[in-house]
Chains A and B, each alone.
Chain A
Amino acid sequence: MFAPFMVHAWLLATIVALVSGAIGFFVVARRAAFPAHALPLGAFPGAAAASLLGVNQLLGLAVFCALGVLVISQLQRGERREVASALWLALSLAAGVLLLSLSGVYAQSINGLLFGQVLGVSREQVVSVAVLSVGALGVLALFARPLLLDSLSGELAAAALGRTGRLEWIFLAMLALTTVIAVPVVGALLVFTLMVGPASAARAFTNRPWRALAGSVALSVASVWGAIALAYLTNWPVGLFVGLLGAACYVSGRLRSAGAVAQAG
């Protein structure tokens, strides 16, 4: 499990988990589970296109993520937020289907894009992901307080900052960046589990926002490590364990809140 060829996998997965856990805190605070699902899944055709064209996957992901942010934020005006996410997702996946169908292969690499692929990671990949992650974490740290205020009340944040729309943009952009980082590892279908599960559990165990953020990151890292270890031992897809561990996190959070309410009552 700790053979040399696995070292890159562990490293990469840890970085991905760090970033996902951090952005996940804001996803949960802003109740943006659907966009957090729609952006990664909607970006998957980008990676598929990139691998068909033979360019860097990260580039393809980035292009489709940017498109996703644009379309979602555009459709959100005068429409329900969840409808905007759903429409973008459908549109982008339709393009993906066309690409897959015209290329005539449902390659194993596509399967990996959907459900995660941690093995066979190169040193260059680790480096580029590390650089992107530092950038994402830096921006998040910079905007952590305004984003939190905005989640509490858009009007309060608007009063403090002048305009509120910009924060939604920053949030979506960071979500997009996390997507670019995480999709090749965890898979487009399951990235958001890594964001939503740990973060929703963490906020049940503390009332302090930054502790919840730290808890979210810690649980996320633990989930990814657990998922890789289990996948290695069983030889089953890593996505299964990411999904199940995310659900386990959420359930533990629910139980904890229920217990707290019962005690208070």
Chain B
Amino acid sequence: MLMSVPSNPGFWVNEPVRVALTVGAGAALVCAVVGCATVMRRQAFAGHALADVSSAGGSAAYLLGLNPLLGFLGMAAAVAVVMEWADMREVRERDLLTGVVLGAGLGLTALLLYFDATMGSVSGAAMTVLFGSMFTIPATIVPVALAVAGAALVASAIIYRPLLLSALAADLARAQGLRVRAVTLTHAVTLALAVSLAAMTVGAILATALLIGPAAAALRLARRPFEALVLAALIGLGATWGGIALAYESFYWTPGRGWPVSFFIVILIFVAYLLSSWAATRRGARRGAALYGCEGA
């Protein structure tokens, strides 16, 4: 069924599909790279909160008729910087702070979506903002999305080593004269970029899947950081393109109504996670047996 898609001539020449493939690829790559750092730094909740909160920006953009990507991005970046700043002293408070910011942001989303529904003439804004709809992404977004993706990847590459070192132990980084706050702040901004791209692709609420899923799967398997990045990128890209292909195909399953792309992407990511988790456990068991064998001898 998956194989039948590329042979379907409509798939490749279809403009919305091409836009979806391009934007989706950018989102998947950036999310894989930024997601690895996010999971390593135990910031999955913060990443999720940013994604959810960015929906307020998305709904505002629909209300004002702006480019939705800029809406998502503006909100996510503002909140990321504020959270990183407020986080300064009390690391143990991070989860609570994240939760409260998330609550306030979602409250705002509720209001803006209410305005979208009552004042604006935009129908289905809520569905698009929260759950994404890849086949309706306007082609005009492609250059902006690619620029955002490029910026995020370059910034991630620049802080690659310092961020790894800070993830290992902030004190070790400081002892090398590193300004840890500058590094984590940069990472917060790349997180905002990644999350807004993902919100554009799979919707604000499901962006977490693209950000955390491939990274978590890759981190279980990889032996070193670069391996994790490559693996996460492959999983993310595979799931996104596979999801798009399946969704396109699904128009033929239930005539007249396609299944949502987001659904397929998330399911594929979850399957990848389960597989990698299973492989990691098996490898761990083997290594454990080897270790015990060694000690017994």
Contact = CB atoms under 8 A, between A and B. Distances in A.
A93 interface: yes
A49 B262 CA distance: 18
Contacts of B117: 111
Contacts of B257: 101-102, 104
Contacts of B105: 243
A172 B284 CA distance: 29
Contact of A243 (B39, B110, B220): B110
A200 B267 CA distance: 35
A244 B104 contact: yes
A157 interface: no
Given A78-B281, A89-B208, A190 B100 contact: no
B160 interface: no
Interface in A85-139: 85-87, 89-91, 93-95, 97-98, 100-102, 104, 106, 111, 114-116
Interface stretch (A145-153, A214-222, A234-242): A234-242
Contacts of B28: none
A34 interface: yes
Contacts of A241: 107
Give chain A's interface secondary structure class: helix
Given A80-B39, A106-B124, A97 B114 contact: no
Nearest to B125: A106
Interface residues of A, number: 52
Interface stretch (A3-11, A163-171, A177-185, A191-199): A191-199
A130 B25 CA distance: 49
Interface string B24-66: 0000000000000001001011011000100000000000000
A247 B101 CA distance: 7
Given A89-B48, A104-B257, A37 B127 contact: no
Contact of B260 (A82, A85, A97, A116): A97
Contact of B114 (A34, A237, A250): A237
Contact of A250 (B42, B96, B127, B262): B96
Give chain B's interface secondary structure class: helix
A37 B105 CA distance: 14
B232 interface: no
A237 B257 CA distance: 31
A120 B104 CA distance: 25
A173 interface: no
Nearest to B48: A86
A247 B100 contact: yes
Given A90-B209, A244-B107, A193 B99 contact: yes
Given A91-B266, A243-B108, A193 B103 contact: yes
A18 interface: no
A51 B258 CA distance: 22
B263 interface: yes
Contact of A246 (B103, B213, B270): B103
A250 B265 CA distance: 36
Interface of A: 28, 31-34, 36-37, 41, 78-80, 82-83, 85-87, 89-91, 93-95, 97-98, 100-102, 104, 106, 111, 114-116, 187, 189-190, 192-193, 196-197, 200, 236-237, 239-244, 246-247, 250
18 contacts: A41-B205, A82-B44, A86-B208, A97-B203, A101-B260, A111-B126, A189-B110, A196-B96, A197-B100, A236-B114, A239-B107, A240-B111, A242-B107, A243-B103, A243-B108, A246-B103, A246-B104, A247-B103
